[in-house]
Structure 1
Amino acid sequence: MLEKHRECVYTPVLLAYSICLGLNIFWEKNLHPGELSYVRNVERSTGYDPDSLGLRRHYDIDELTTWIQGVGSSLNSMANHLRHLRIVESLLEHVEVNPVCLDSLPPGTHRRVEEDMSQLIAGIPPIKNRIHATREYLRYLEKRAERLSSTRDSSSMKTVAIMTMAFLPATFFAALLAIPSFDWGPARERFWVYWALTIPTTVLVLVVWGLLINRRRIAERLTIGKKSEQDSRCGSLAP
């Protein structure tokens, strides 16, 4: 980078300018292709790809763990990239706003320094445009990664809800039947009452939960069924 701008070696801000340009190029080359390809791969695997035909509803736990780690790493890389972009932008603004003090330089170099400074300052707006484009691209990737994270959280909450519903009726009846007001006598003789209450209630709770979760899909299927039935009737009545 310094070799490329060696004609501007007389200006004291050459090093800062080269660092800003080099960091921007480095992050563009090393972050964008890998992060985008990984996010797209996870979207395609989970069914959240724009061209996907449908969502997957069952995931292998090891596969899901790998995706969680990868998406978290991608979000960390994007946050680190945005932090570097803010530093680069601040440094460029400092170079652009604060002119070099020519009094501290040898008199014979003033004209060359002014020319080099003008040349470098003219190159700052394109770098800022690249930073702006990179920042918007990173925010786009962050939104896609956060959407995958929300999918993961939704799957985790469904798992917690199912486990809670499976054990809640059993816990409720165990606590209820343990009240001293119930005189059960020998415990083993009437232990079947506990299972007779727990098993049907657990099944009923899971069935109701499934109906509530899939009520929209059930309603759509019923609507389609009624429509097809009406079409068949109209077809049979037609001469």
Structure 2
Amino acid sequence: MDELNALTQEEASRNGVFWALYSDSTLDTLSASRGANGLLIIEQASLHENSLLPFTGRASIPGQDGVHSNLRLVSVACASTSNGTGLKISQPNFFGLLDAMSVNRHALYLIQNEYDGFHIIPNGPTMTFFIGTWLYALAWSFDPSDLSTRAIFIDRSRDCYAPFVELLKRFLQYTSSPALLAFVTAVHVTRFDDTTTSHELAHIHFVAREIGYDSRRHVKSGMKHDINKLTNYHQLIGGTLENIANKLRHLGLVDSLFTFVMEDPTFSTPISGTMMEGMLVNTEYLRRAVPVLRSQRDAYGEYVRYQKEQAERLSEVLFGLLTHEDSLININIANLSTELARASKEDSSTMKAIAILTMAFLPATFFATLFALPTLESETVVLDI
């Protein structure tokens, strides 16, 4: 593993595209610490990147001998550039942050190459975990000796940090569990996808209504279609299918996260009885919600797959309409060429120009007309034009 970690760091150091030109960034942070009296202290702050290393250190609570569990979270935003995606933090500070958090360097490889899915990485006495979604990535370490969690939130494409933290704060009483961030991510991704499903459904219904496509899989006859609008509709449904594909990927991720929550974690070093008890008690509270959430996920998955079928059928109909409209345009061009030839049959120079024009358009006209024949229509999609 040391060899792989060294290789990862060398590749990351050479990859100038990944590191945007930021060296003076301020990052959002969250800390949660529970003392011996059970009191939970939560703090949120924006820190300069040069002040992150002290923030990730061991927690302390004034007036108390020790901390029974603690969590530190740092959010690093992404910036899109003409050369790719970069992190809004300097490379030395990001490397230092990984080391201070005891996050295995393999997580750097997963972050840099924008991996998805759930990954568990052995890292000596601590464990490193990585979650990648199309919305954000999350890498964290868990130290069983003091039940501490150190996490980095990578906001990939949307401003997801604030809503993620608001959800996380509802479950911070379970900071002793190594599965806390996996559980919160599963809940957050599921709820995010739920709230956006209505947008995809609205797009499907809107396009179907605009082209006259009904529940019997027929397109109303006699409707006039503008090829530019059809192209826009096809692009809209294409984007809808892409979002649905991301949601189907999330379903598999959520399932693996719930499986992790339900399993007992294993660590390479012994854990004291008090620490083990606190960890298991906190994890058990999270486990109680998993059966209900899994049932919700299964029902949602069936609906998303049905929605995918709707969008795919509509995409086929739009392709058929586009082909038909394109063939009509080419046929009209061919007819126009014929009329011009008839009108100019006495003019030999004009006839030559018409012949060249007709030969240029004839192949496209032939193939467009061929694809518009009724015999090539799908058995499941009927274009009644």
More contact order relative to length (CA 8 Å, sep ≥ 6):
1
Distance 1:140 1:19, change over 3 A: same
How far apart are residue 106 of structure 1 and its match? 3.5
For 1:59 and 1:80, locate their aligned partners in 2 and report how far apart those are by CA, in whole Å.
31
More helix by share: 1
Q: Answer yes or no: is the 8 Å Cα contact 1:11–1:113 preserved in 2.
A: yes
Give the Cα–Cα distance (whole angstroms) in 2 for the partners of residues 99 and 17 of structure 1.
14
What is the distance in 1 between the residues matched to 2:268 and 2:239?
47
Equivalent residues in 2 for 1:83-232, closer than 5 Å: 83-101=249-267, 104-159=270-325
Instruction: Give the 3 Å change call, closer, same or farther, for CA 86–53 of structure 1 in structure 2.
Output: closer
State the SS of the aligned residue for 1:99: coil
User: What amino acid does structure 2 have at the position aligned with 1:39?
Assistant: I
SS of match in other structure, 2:169: coil
Give the match for residue 235 of structure 1. none
Aligned to 2:213: 48
1:35 maps to which of 192, 196, 200: 200
Instruction: Say if 1:16 and 1:91, in contact at 8 Å, map to a contact too.
Output: yes
Residue 73 of structure 1 is matched in structure 2 by 239
**Kept in 1: contact 2:204–2:311 (CA 8 A):** yes
Deviation at 1:46, TM superposition (A): 1.5
Determine the structure 1 residue equivalent to 2:20.
Answer: none
Name the structure 2 match of 1:59.
225
Check whether the contact 2:261–2:286 (CA below 8 A) recurs between aligned residues. no
Aligned counterpart in structure 2 of residue 23 of structure 1, from 189, 192, 205: 189
Residue 119 of structure 1: how far off its partner (Å): 1.8
Deviation at 1:100, TM superposition (A): 4.8
Higher percent of residues as strand = 2
CA contact (8 A) 1:10 1:113 kept: yes
Shift of 1:49: 3.6
Displacement of 1:41 in angstroms is: 0.9
Find the residue that maps to 2:225 and give its secondary structure: coil
Work out the CA distance in 2 between the residues paired with 1:54 and 1:162. Answer: 17
Contact 1:10/1:116 (8 A) holds in 2 = yes
Query: C-alpha offsets along residues 160-195 of structure 1, whole Å, 9 cap, x if unaligned?
Result: 655777759x99xxxxxxxxxxxxxxx96xx9xxxx
CA–CA distance in 2 between the matches of 1:51 and 1:149? 16
Q: Name the larger-Rg structure.
A: 1
- Structure 2 CA distance for partners of 1:160 and 1:40, relative to 1, 3 Å: closer
TM-score normalised according to structure 1 size = 0.62
Indicate conservation of the 8 Å contact 2:227/2:322, yes or no.
Answer: no
Partner of 1:217: none
Aligned residue number for residue 227 of structure 1: none
Cα 1:37/1:9, change in 2 over 3 Å: same
> Under a length normalisation based on structure 2, what TM-score does the superposition of the two structures give?
0.40
Change in Cα spacing, 1:155 to 1:140, as seen in structure 2 (3 Å) is same
Structure 1 unaligned regions, length at least 5: 172-186, 192-208, 215-239
CA distance in 2, matches of 1:73, 1:53: 23
**How has the CA–CA distance of structure 1 residues 19 and 53 changed in structure 2, closer, same or farther, with 3 Å as cutoff?**
closer
